[in-house]
């Protein structure tokens, strides 16, 4: 398994501001992902964080709204920009090692936008 540290664990933010979520893994991993879980919904993939290049975004998610950095194989950040109440969700960092079928998750960031 992988130990994933995600912070902050929760935050309450004013609309129009931005929040950066950090994800630190205890070992090098090939794949890092960012998910969103809205209340009562499934986990929705926002993007795959690529080391040394731009993230790969899923349909419905754009870089201007969710800029992602991945400077090395153990660390990534997700920024939720210009927040609105609709961005209130749990945001989850996930990693997958080469050859593994399972993914591992951080503890999540519960974001409330007021």
What residue ranges bind another protein (CB under 8 A)?
Answer: 1, 4, 6, 9, 31, 33, 35, 40-45, 92, 94, 96, 101-108, 110
Distance from first CA to last CA of the chain, Å, rounded?
Answer: 36
| CA 37/CA 45 separation, integer angstroms | 9
Cβ proximity to another protein: between 31 and 81 the closer is: 31
Length of the chain: 114
- Which helix (H) or strand (E) segment holds residue 31: the answer is strand 31-37
CB 98 to another protein: min, Å:
9
Cβ proximity to another protein: between 93 and 113 the closer is: 93
Query: 98 Cβ partners below 8 Å, 6+ apart?
Result: 30, 31
CB 18 to another protein: min, Å:
23
Cβ proximity to another protein: between 3 and 63 the closer is: 3
Determine whether 34 is exposed, middle or buried from the number of CB atoms within 10 Å of its CB (0-12, 13-18, 19+): buried
CB 92 to another protein: min, Å:
6
Cβ proximity to another protein: between 82 and 112 the closer is: 112
CB 103 to another protein: min, Å:
6
- 3-state secondary structure (DSSP) of residue 23: strand
């Amino acid at each position: 398994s992988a130990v994933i540290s995600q912070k902050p664990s929760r935050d309450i933010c004013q609309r129009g501001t931005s929040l950066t979520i950090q994800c630190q893994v205890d070992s090098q991993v090939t794949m890092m992902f960012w998910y969103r879980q809205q209340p009562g919904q499934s986990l929705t993939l926002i993007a795959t964080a690529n080391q040394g290049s731009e993230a790969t975004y899923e349909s419905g998610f754009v870089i201007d709204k969710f800029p992602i950095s991945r400077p090395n194989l153990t660390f990534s950040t997700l920024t939720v920009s210009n927040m609105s109440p609709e961005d209130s969700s749990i945001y989850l960092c996930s990693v997958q090692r080469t050859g593994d079928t399972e993914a591992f998750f951080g503890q999540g960031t519960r974001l409330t936008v007021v």
